[in-house]
Amino acid sequence: MKSRFVANLLLTFIWVALTGDFAFNNYIFGFVLSFFILWITSKDKRKYNYFTLVPKLISFVFYFLFELVKANLQVAYEVSTPNLKMKPGIVMVPLDIQSDIGITLLANMISLTPGTLSLDVSNDKKVLFVHAMYITDREEFIHGIKNGFEKRLLDIFKK
């Protein structure tokens, strides 16, 4: 997988050098173009985990950005209106992800999203404690985290 990533970066830099445009957009375009060139020229695509991992990572980043914007709008609306509709609380979210890096990423994604804060992880790594500003239904809140961030992280980390 590392060799595919290095090849992708090398082709990206070749693209940028050939075009002479050092703008960030050109790096992104070159990376995507290089990815597709590598994908097309690979004989056995199932053999390389790289071709499934990169789209999952890109999807995860866009999902996080969508959730970030949505949470920012919700908190901004709450702050700018006179009536408080907050129902803060602490929720125990059961974890399916067990790796330290996966739990750390999940906790950080939750904390970076306005209105939520990861407080602690149980000693057995089975429960994440989350404080949230809006808890109307605990099960729905847990379902949102498990089918949102955690599901996507599990897809990325599965071998």
Question: pTM higher than 0.85 for the full model?
Answer: no
Q: What is the pLDDT of residue 107?
A: 94
91 and 107 share a domain?
A: yes
Strand stretches in 61-147, DSSP E:
89-94, 116-121, 127-132
The mean predicted confidence, pLDDT, of the chain is: 86
Q: What is the pLDDT of residue 7?
A: 81
61 and 88 share a domain?
A: yes
What tokens appear for 49 in the block?
A: 């985990």
40 and 91 share a domain?
A: no
**Contact predicate 97/155, CB 8 Å:** no
| pLDDT per residue as tens digits for the range 8-22 | 778 888 888 888 888
27 and 94 share a domain?
A: no
Rounded to the nearest 10 degrees, the angle between the axes of helix 24-41 and helix 2-19 is: 130
Q: CA 157 to CA 49: how far, in whole Å?
A: 11
* Domain tally, the chain: 2
User: 33 is in which domain, residue-wise?
Assistant: 2-47
| pLDDT per residue as tens digits for the range 108-156 | 999 998 889 999 999 999 999 999 988 888 999 999 999 999 999 998 8
Strand stretches in 32-94, DSSP E:
89-94
15 and 66 share a domain?
A: no
**Contact predicate 125/98, CB 8 Å:** yes
Nearest CA to 128 among 91, 88, 87? 91
